[in-house]
Structure 1
């Protein structure tokens, strides 16, 4: 991979995390393809598929219904021509139990050209999230 492409993807990742943290949803939408897609694990209270330029905003709206003061600490990042893999720790306080959670996870940000075409998140323990939010079903 060319150095310029590598640096471009790193910059894109840093920018989209900053924009989502600030809630600048219009600018976030400009970084996404029309067919942008996020699929959250079905075991999560906000599990399912989120599509289009408002997908991240739609997901964040659902996430913050369950969590207070959610934040992400970014650790390492691996870059390829079409993906950026970001190692994270999600921190949040459950609105259901008041429990403070620190969840290791990673997100694969899929890159097409100069935009993101999707995100695939992987959580260390989706059951811990479901328990903390009161949505764990044992049936």
Structure 2
């Protein structure tokens, strides 16, 4: 029997709490120095750090993209990470924003999230349409 945490299950639990907006439980899953790195070419670019990182990012992304559904699939396990495909569905739209996210763990705590959006122009277009 391995002492290694079930990282895929931790990511599934993380997504469950994120869908519920349960930041108390999400923060309990994170290291104090967690970092979320968003590409400089995105409208919500930057490095978000600390236990409030995800909540701070959500306050930018949710009004900007108006996400009504998040789907995750094809979870791929690394040594201390999990990558998965993610689809963001903006409300009232047939757009699907596709991305890959890497979740890095220190033990059983999440210490980094690094998303990769396939089409930055699409993200900007959705944000612009929602700003109108």
Query: What TM-score, normalized by structure 2, do the two folds share?
Result: 0.88
Q: Where does residue 87 of structure 2 map in the other structure?
A: 89
Q: Where does residue 63 of structure 2 map in the other structure?
A: 65
The 8 Å contact of residues 75 and 88 in structure 1, kept in 2 or not, is answered as yes
Q: CA deviation at 1:101?
A: 2.0
Q: Where does residue 4 of structure 2 map in the other structure?
A: 5
The 8 Å contact of residues 43 and 127 in structure 1, kept in 2 or not, is answered as no
Q: Where does residue 25 of structure 2 map in the other structure?
A: 27
State the distance in 1 between where 2:87 and 2:66 align.
15
The 8 Å contact of residues 99 and 132 in structure 1, kept in 2 or not, is answered as no
What's the secondary structure of 1:134's corresponding residue?
helix
Pairing partner for 2:113 from 99, 105, 119: 119
State the distance in 2 between where 1:70 and 1:47 align.
21
Q: CA deviation at 1:39?
A: 0.9
Pairing partner for 1:52 from 26, 50, 53: 50
The 8 Å contact of residues 65 and 126 in structure 2, kept in 1 or not, is answered as no
Alpha-carbon RMSD across the aligned residues, in angstroms, is 1.9
State the distance in 2 between where 1:120 and 1:99 align.
25
Over 3 Å counting, the alpha-carbon distance change for 1:71 and 1:4 in structure 2 is farther
Q: Structure 2: which 5+ residue stretches go unaligned?
A: none
Q: Structure 1: which 5+ residue stretches go unaligned?
A: none
The 8 Å contact of residues 43 and 130 in structure 1, kept in 2 or not, is answered as no
Q: Where does residue 104 of structure 2 map in the other structure?
A: 110
The 8 Å contact of residues 67 and 88 in structure 2, kept in 1 or not, is answered as no
State the distance in 2 between where 1:34 and 1:60 align.
18
Extract structure 1 runs of 4+ deviating beyond 6 A: none
Over 3 Å counting, the alpha-carbon distance change for 1:120 and 1:69 in structure 2 is closer
Q: CA deviation at 1:67?
A: 2.3
